[in-house]
Amino acid sequence: MPNRLLLGCFILLWSGLLLGQEPAALTVFTHTSLVDGLTAAVREDVQVWIKGAKIEAVLPANTPLPKDAREINLQGKYMLPGLIDAHVHLNNLQDAQRALLTGVTTVRSMGVPHFTDVGMRALARSGQMDLPEVLAAGYHIRPRPDEGIFLDEPGLVDLMGQNVVGEEALGRITYIMLKHKVDWLKVNATARAGLPQTDPREPYYSADELRVIVEAGAKQGVPVAAHAHGDEGGLAAVEAGVRSIEHGTYLSEATLQLMAAKGTFLVPTIAVVKDLTEAGGDYDTPVLRLRGHHMLPRVREMTTMAHRLGVKIVAATDTGYSQESLLRLPHEMEELVGVGLSPLEAIQSATTLAAELLHISNHTGRIAVGFDADILVVERNPLLNVGVLHDPLLIMNNGKIVLNRLSW
């Protein structure tokens, strides 16, 4: 370290000690109605202290404020943890920032080209840009991978134009994902719903093939999320030991029972199926609109059954948050309430339970001391109506306010 810089650091430290101040500023939210993400009770009129990027304290209203604290009086408005969208496809930084400005402070990327999610994760961690925390998965592992992977990894060229099936080819693709340091592996266990020419009921892989991916990931502590609409492909994925099933539209009661027994999470993404049926948004073609009409009642019915059987249900949009997107996480939370979850369960599905799925519940998803200062403030009580989450008045991301509409 150059001498002058060293001296500067010393003076800064010394002046901090002299004034009895900590280097990090303290923000105190006063008169907060707190929804902590875990319990059904609202804690009325509390103070929430934020220091740096973390929640420093949750205290009674009459606690004296430190002299240098910045006070933000919430006047009884409701605070809850920043939301976790457990299934997104963010293609660029603008879209990631759009997600953040809806109150989503953490995302799990579920398939993008060129490992852009791995890069986003690094940018978010650097704190240089306002971005949600990102858990990356790289490419979808599927019979026909995105062609970008052959540009990133020309050594895979012999698989180009082939169906990537069989244990050897799947092992090679999985190795590439792990080499790029993904947090999750994403595999398509059935065909997609969002393409007119594919049939979402069609299974892609056997349980043995899927186990190759699960076991390779497990060796490095990387869990697997399996896209599955049809029951056969979904069951194979559950048997292989994936951590979450994405969509699950046609899952049978037997498969859901196995999920409940094994603790496999369900991420039903109901609202995106509704998007198929409507004009505009992420999907808008005649075939998909017709398909959406028969998928939507099925995915709702399946989620109701999953809830009854005790399957852990997590909220997600499956959107890219592009300019065209009409999907927001509260849409999915409203859908979950519609199929039988309580508003508290719907909030947990986007906070505490989502954090459990993502293995990040030690630092995010709750308003509690020591947790990330990822915070959402809304006007009314979300435990009465999760729809109020469509209108965030304040968003804090790792201790930094990225949206503040409180004064209006």
Chain contacts with Zn ion (rule: CB under 5 A): 110, 318
d(CA 367, CA 358): 17
> Between residues 275 and 318, which has the closer beta carbon with respect to Zn ion?
318
Q: How far is the CB of 137 from Zn ion (least distance, A)?
A: 10
Q: How far is the CB of 278 from Zn ion (least distance, A)?
A: 18
Q: Which residues contact 377 (CB under 8 A, 6 or more apart)?
A: 29, 74, 77, 78, 79, 392, 393, 394, 395, 406
Alpha carbon separation from 283 to 190, 195, 196, 336 (Å, rounded): 19, 9, 10, 21
> Between residues 77 and 291, which has the closer beta carbon with respect to Zn ion?
291
| Three-state DSSP class for residue 129 | coil
Planar angle of CA 87, 88, 90, nearest 5 degrees: 160
> Between residues 88 and 396, which has the closer beta carbon with respect to Zn ion?
88
Burial class (CB in 10 A: 0-12, 13-18, 19+), 101: middle
> Between residues 85 and 318, which has the closer beta carbon with respect to Zn ion?
318
Query: Residue number with the shortest CB distance to Zn ion?
Result: 318
Cβ proximity of 39 and 357 under 8 Å: no
> Between residues 110 and 176, which has the closer beta carbon with respect to Zn ion?
110
Q: How far is the CB of 127 from Zn ion (least distance, A)?
A: 28
The pairs formed by 283-288 with CB atoms below 8 angstroms and a separation of 24 or more are 283/194, 285/196, 287/196, 288/193, 288/194, 288/196
What secondary structure does DSSP assign to 2-69, as a single string? Answer: -HHHHHHHHHHHHHHHHTT--SS-EEEEEEEEE--SS-SS-EEEEEEEEETTEEEEEEETTPPPPTTP
> Between residues 259 and 272, which has the closer beta carbon with respect to Zn ion?
272
First to last CA, the chain: 48
> Between residues 140 and 211, which has the closer beta carbon with respect to Zn ion?
140
Q: How far is the CB of 297 from Zn ion (least distance, A)?
A: 21
- Give strand pairing partners of 120: none
> Between residues 153 and 318, which has the closer beta carbon with respect to Zn ion?
318
What secondary structure does DSSP assign to 305-348, as a single string? Answer: HHHHHT--B-----B---TT----HHHHHHHHHHTT--HHHHHH
Q: How far is the CB of 308 from Zn ion (least distance, A)?
A: 25
Q: How far is the CB of 87 from Zn ion (least distance, A)?
A: 6
Q: How far is the CB of 78 from Zn ion (least distance, A)?
A: 30
> Between residues 42 and 90, which has the closer beta carbon with respect to Zn ion?
90
Q: How far is the CB of 187 from Zn ion (least distance, A)?
A: 12
> Between residues 110 and 258, which has the closer beta carbon with respect to Zn ion?
110
d(CA 2, CA 13): 17
H or E element that contains 106: strand 104-109
Q: How far is the CB of 26 from Zn ion (least distance, A)?
A: 40
Count of positions (residues) in the chain? 408
DSSP structural state of residue 94: H
Helices (H), 66-127: 93-100, 116-126
Q: How far is the CB of 90 from Zn ion (least distance, A)?
A: 11
Q: How far is the CB of 110 from Zn ion (least distance, A)?
A: 5
Alpha carbon separation from 313 to 30, 265, 355 (Å, rounded): 33, 6, 12
> Between residues 89 and 121, which has the closer beta carbon with respect to Zn ion?
89
